[in-house]
Structure formats: structure tokens, C-alpha cells
Amino acid sequence: MKLLVTVSETAEADDEFEIDGLSIDDRYLTFDLNEWDNYAIEEAVQVSESNDDVEVVTVTVGPERTEETIRQGLAKGADRAIRVWDDDLADVGLLDSGTKARLIAAVAQEEEPDLILSGVQSGDMAFAATGVALAADLGYEWAAVVNELDLDAENGVAHVHRELEGGVVELTDVELPAVLTIQTGINEPRYASLRGIRQAQTKPLDVTTPDELGVTLGESALSLTSLAEPETESDVEFFEGGADDTAGKLATLLRDKGVDA
Amino acid sequence: MSDVLAVAEHRRGELRDVSFEVITASRELADATGGDVHLAVISGDVDGFADELNLDGVDLIHTVEHGDEFNHGVYTQTLTQLVDDCGPQYVVTPHTVNGLDYAPAVAQKIDYPLVTDAIGVDTNDGLTITRELYNGKTEATVAVSSDHALVTVRPGEWPPAEGDGSATIEAFDVTIDEAAVRSTVKGFEEVGAGDVDISEADVLVSVGRGIQEEENLDIIFDLAEALDATVSASRPIVDNGWLPQDRQVGQSGKKVTPDVYLAIGISGAVQHVAGMKGADTIVAINDDPSAPIYDIADYGIVDDLFDVVPALTEQFG
């Protein structure tokens, strides 16, 4: 059995940052493994640990810089990784989810995984669309926003819980092959062990291009036209002073509001 | 060609609020394109839903009877055929868990560019969507170069449609390939039927990522005890398994409306705010003055929570 995990690197902005044109200045960004993908990797590794003969492959659309993030996935237990990139992709300001899905679908067609796990969304762009778009391209079944997975590999069914709004979960059976988009909280992602980190350096990380995958990139249908800090409508009243002062003022307020033991 | 197709959402026999909001967003787009607003009502009590959604601004309602509950295979096949039939310029769906379960698939099948989680639309010079990037820290505009687009809209951003409408209601004749529907909804469960109901609490002491370590929760429980309050949390605390799911405030957790909501070490992501903005008085303690929680808070203390929280507990000791 083979599992493919889509892994992306996301940019987290500092609390204070400056916008330079259409992006946040690199100085204020920290690049790291996408939070949702961290849970997807963990879920895949847990499947490989509890079933015989499972290979976990990760796929990333990203520049060379992302290899550090890709190695994190390998250190946590993925067997090998594939990275897709070329200069034309670097020139695309906003990679739409449809194009990203087509690139990953081309990799999946070569790999023929039984199950693809994808984070629900990326922390920075948050389109929350790649996984389901990928399933549609591949003709795989799918389920979005999965927070529990019970895989019955023998019968080719994934029993999943989908996290709906308002504290309700939907119980759904999904036939394999399938794409599941993984929600945070589904498991407890491990930290890579020192041994895992060492091993990750020697695991295969293959680099390919859209060209080699036979994907022709058209003009992107989407482009970023402005980026700004949102205007705040705050009318918050701040309590000033040291902790004892502010706590005292807050205590007075809370008592005014009827809070008291 | 200039029409806009909106898609309603329902669950367990009831329309969800966002169904009324997608109508408003679609009307806004259709006013700009000069087209009609079509509304798709798929599965469940479609006739009842269609009556409820026959509101001012809707021109045509397409109903498709097929099962009781949402199934993404049925939605995807239906919408693909409906788009083929009525050729809308824009398709507007809710940015919800179920919306995310079919909208990207439909967009791929009908080959429309997809822009998700819209909080604003502008059609002055082609379609431009306003949405957040970088975890809500920035607001971006995204221009769509294609004539067509599928847009998912964030719940709560457009007012609900209201006023009686005079839409034509038609059953849409769809052919569902049952063999291609390869997932089955087996049922639903409510999470966290625990002994604490945070939605009933008058005073909530709510804790977020800023608490850093599980052991540090002690100071939160100490404060809650001093205030005779109930402890709730934002998503990361529950994801980490430090508190059970029934303590989670937000879109995927519970909606709360206490008299006082004390947000401690909570940044105030939109999903969290959706669950607590109905509180009478919101107090935030967070050392980042630019945290979005301060956009909604009435009172704030920009300081280290590890200094302020014990000091506050002492005030009530």
C-alpha cells in the first residue's frame, strides 16, 4: 500500500511586519512546515506503523528553499519525497489551487497511491482547495476536513469523521483510492528524533519539473493586486501600568459587571 | 452568461444561515453583471427549502430531490450539469466545511478559476475578490482574469437576504451516476457531551496558545475558581489534547454568549471570534498589541499573561 502526502511550506508573519509591494518583506517571515500538513504526515506515518508494507511518499510544489521543510517530513517517518518546481512557477505570483492540483495529480498518476492525505489548508494562503481539486482531477473519491481516520485497507474503505461546524461530526465511509484533507487535532504530531533527522538526510528527495510531468502551465487566472494590513475598528480601552495596577483596574471592572465569587 | 448561480446549504433538515447570505452576495454580483440570480437547492426537503429561500433578489430556484443529507458526489454532479445547462458567469457557494467538500471539485470539472473565503467582491474592472492572507494578518485583493469564477464566501460577511421574492421554482432534471458516488454518510455525532456546558456560562475564562505549556493551565483554573467562572479554550489548546473538545469556543466548537469573556493568550483568529463575538463584555490579555482579539475586545491589557493572571487571581483571593 502506498500513501502520498502533500506537504507545503508556509510563511508565518511576525507580530510586527512591513509590507513590500505585494508581499510581506522576507525579514518578517518564518518559513516552516504547514501546520495542517504536519498532522497529515503524522497520520500517514501512523498508518505505515500499524500496517505491513506501507510506503509514505511526500510531494511538494515549491522552490529549493522548501527542501528543509521536506526533510522534516522525512525525519518524522516518510520514506521519500518529490519536489516539483521550475522558474516559470517562480514567476507566478499567486499559484491557483487548480494548477497546483494538476501538478500534484501528475505526480500521483506516476505514483498510483491508494490514499492521499493533504492538509485542509495552508496557514498563509488558506484556499483550502488543493486536496479536493486533486481528487476531482484524479477521479479519486475524497473527504474534506477529516478529524478521525479508521482505515480498512483490506476492504479498501476509509471510515472517517468530518468535522462540521458547531461541534458536529459527520461519519462517512469513503472508498479507496481517495484523497482526505486532514484537520488539525486528528493526532499528536511527533517531533523528529535525532536518528530520524540523520536518516532524513539520506532518504531520496527527487526533483522534477512541470515539463517532465507533462503539465503545461497556462497564464494564471488569478493575480494578487493589493496587500494591506486590515483596517481595525477597534475601540478597546487599554488598562495601563504594571501587572498589579492593571489587575486591580480589571478587578474593579469585573466587580462592576457582577463577577465575584 | 451574465447570471450568477448560488448554492444553498442545509444540514439535518434545516437551512443554514449562510444560505441566506450567499443570495445577498450573488445579488451584489448579478447587479453588476446585469444577470439573474439562480439558486440551487439540492437534497433534503427541497420544496420547503425553496419556499423559505424565495426571497427578494432571487430570480430562479432549481430544486434537485436526491436523498436527505449533503453528499459531495451528488452536489458535484448536479452542479456540473446545472452550470452546463444555465451557463452562469459566476457560481457562489458557502465557505463552509461542506462547501469545501464540493466547490474545488466543481471548479475543476467546469474549469472555472476558484477563489475561496471571500469577504468582499468588486466588479468595477473585472472580478476582484477581497480575502485574508497570512493567517488573517493581511487583507489582499485577488483579480480574476477569466470571465468566469467560482467564489466561496465566508459566513457572516454578507447580510442575510430578506423580503418576499417571486422566483420561479423549477425541478432540475439531473442524471446522477450512482456508481460514481463512492462515499456514504453514515450518520452524525455531537462532540463533547461532557459535564461542562460552556454555552450556559455567565463568565468564561478562555485560554489560548499564549499559555505555552499544559502545566501552565493551573493559573487559568486558579483564576476561574477565584472568579467562580468556567474555563473555555481556543482551538490549539484542544488540538493539543490539553482540554476536551466541549471546552472549545469557535466555528467548529461552541458559540458562547456570556456576560463576561476573558480571553487570555488568545490571538483572536476569525474562527474563534465567530464563536464569542456575542459576549456582552470582552476582556483580552495578550502581550501582542496588534493581535486581532483587540479589534473586538472592549478592554485589554497588553502585558505578559504570566504576570497579570496571578495578580488578578490575588485580587479575588
Q: Is the pLDDT of residue A218 over 90?
A: no
Domain spanning B4-180, CATH architecture: 3-Layer(aba) Sandwich (3.40)
Sequence-separated (6 or more) residues with CB below 8 Å from residue A24: A11, A13, A17, A18, A227, B134, B138
Chain-chain contact of A136 with B104 (C-beta, under 8 angstroms) = yes
Chain-chain contact of B143 with A222 (C-beta, under 8 angstroms) = yes
User: Residue A60 phi/psi, 5° resolution?
Assistant: -135, 135
Q: Domain for residue A244, yes or no?
A: no
Beta bridge mates, A47: none
Closest chain A residue to the Cα of B130, Cα to Cα? A226
Q: What is the pLDDT along chain B (317 residues), one digit of tens a residue?
A: 799 999 999 999 999 999 999 999 999 999 999 999 999 999 999 999 999 999 999 999 999 999 999 999 999 999 999 999 999 999 999 999 999 999 999 999 999 999 999 999 999 889 999 999 998 889 999 999 999 999 999 999 999 999 999 999 999 999 999 999 999 999 999 876 667 789 889 999 999 999 999 999 999 999 999 999 999 999 999 999 999 988 999 988 889 999 999 999 999 998 899 999 999 999 999 999 989 999 999 999 999 999 999 999 999 98
Chain-chain contact of A166 with B140 (C-beta, under 8 angstroms) = no
- Among residues A6, A36, A38, the alpha carbon closest in space to that of A111 is found at A6
Q: Domain for residue A117, yes or no?
A: yes
State the Cα torsion B124-B127-B130-B134 to the nearest 10°.
Answer: -140
CATH 3.40.50.1220 domain residues, chain B? 198-315
**d(Cα B298, Cα A48) in Å, to the nearest integer?**
49
Report the residue from B184, B297, B312 with minimal CB separation from A247: B312
Helices marked H in chain A — which ranges?
35-50, 67-75, 87-91, 97-111, 130-138, 194-200, 210-213, 243-256
Strands A23-24, A19-20: pairing is antiparallel
3-state secondary structure chain B: CCCEEEECCEECCEECCHHHHHHHHHHHHHHHHCCCEEEEEECCCHHHHHHHCCECCCCEEEEECCCCCCCHHHHHHHHHHHHHHHCCCEEEEECCCCHHHHHHHHHHHHCCCEEEEECEEECECEEEEEEEECCCCEEEEEEECCCCEEEEECCCCCCCCCCECCCEEEECCCCCCHHHCCEEEEEEEECCCCCCCHHHCCEEEEECHHHCCHHHHHHHHHHHHHHCCEEEECHHHHHCCCCCHHHEECCCCECCCCCEEEEECCCCCHHHHHHHCCCCEEEEECCCCCCCHHHHCCEEECCCHHHHHHHHHHHCC
The mean pLDDT of A75-83, rounded to a whole number, is 98
Hey, which residues 44-103 in chain A have their CB within 8 Å of chain B? 94, 96-98, 101
Distances (CA, A) of B49 to B19, B41, B163, B265: 10, 7, 15, 42
Chain A hits for B132, CB-CB cut-off 8 Å, are: 126, 230
Q: In this complex, is the C-beta atom of B284 within 8 Å of any C-beta atom belonging to chain A?
A: yes
Q: Domain for residue A125, yes or no?
A: yes
Hey, which residues 49-78 in chain B have their CB within 8 Å of chain A? 72-73, 76
Q: What is the pLDDT of residue B191?
A: 77
Q: What is the pLDDT of residue B193?
A: 60
Cell 489587575 belongs to residue: A247
Q: Which domain holds residue A204?
A: 2-213
For chain A, how many structural domains are there in total? Answer: 1
Chain B hits for A230, CB-CB cut-off 8 Å, are: 132, 136, 138-139
Measured over the CA atoms of residue B37, residue B43, residue B44 and residue B48, the dihedral's sign is positive
**What is the CATH topology of the domain spanning B198-315?**
Rossmann fold (3.40.50)
Chain-chain contact of A127 with B143 (C-beta, under 8 angstroms) = no
Q: What is the pLDDT of residue B192?
A: 66
Chain-chain contact of B308 with A164 (C-beta, under 8 angstroms) = no
Contacts across the A-B interface (CB distance below 8 Å): 273
- Among residues B151, B67, B137, the alpha carbon closest in space to that of B107 is found at B151
CATH number (domain holding residue A165): 3.40.50.620
